[in-house]
Amino acid sequence: MKASYINPFISSSIHIIETFVQTKPTVGDLKLINVELLDNHIWLEIGIVGEFEGNVMFGIPEQVALKIVAAMMGGYAVTEMDEMCQSAISELGNMISGNATTLLYNEGIQVDITPPSILKGCASDVPLKAVSVPLHIPDIGEFSIHMIVPGQ
């Protein structure tokens, strides 16, 4: 897999978070990992189809997700990951991924995305290898972007 496929998702994440959360995240080190769906996390998965196929997954600790949603809502206090919060996090992932597909298209790579799915933490029989990068959002916390391309 081309590690460069994750770069538009990183750039898009920074742009969308700056716009909606009003702070600039910093980017951690890129790594190749086995994805483990940890409990107490929101796992947002978006499929990628087209010139390359795979998935992008956002692993967001629940407390970080609550703070992101609160910031997106102008500081409104959010205390539980209810349906509204899940919808807001899904939309955040959708905006990031939609923007990333535009960046990929501008590089001559035509892909489309599927609607976001929220996954629960559970063990998988097949380890998911991914190119992964953490983003740290000041005063909010850290979440990870994982790019999974099967067979790579």
Torsion, CA 103, CA 34, CA 120, CA 59, rounded to 10:
-40
Burial of 108 (0-12, 13-18, 19+ CB in 10 A): exposed
What is the 3-class SS of 105-119, one letter each residue? HHCCCCEEECCCEEE
CA dist., res. 111 & res. 35, Å (int)? 23
Residue 124 pLDDT class (50, 70, 90 cuts): low
In order of their start, the domains of the chain are: 3-17+30-142 (3.40.1550.10)
DSSP state at residue 140: T
Q: How far apart are the first and last CA of the chain?
A: 5
Choose among 117, 135, 151, 147: nearest CA to 24.
135
Res. 126: pLDDT tops 70: no
Q: In what helix (H) or strand (E) does residue 2 lie, and over which residues does it extend?
A: none
pTM: 0.90
Task: Encode pLDDT of 19-68 as tens digits.
Answer: 998 899 999 999 998 888 878 889 999 999 999 899 999 999 999 999 99
In 62-127, beta strands by DSSP E: 111-113, 117-119
Per-residue pLDDT tens for 14-26?
999 999 988 999 9
Euclidean distance between CA atoms 117 and 42, whole angstroms:
10
C-beta atoms surrounding 8 within 10 Å: 23
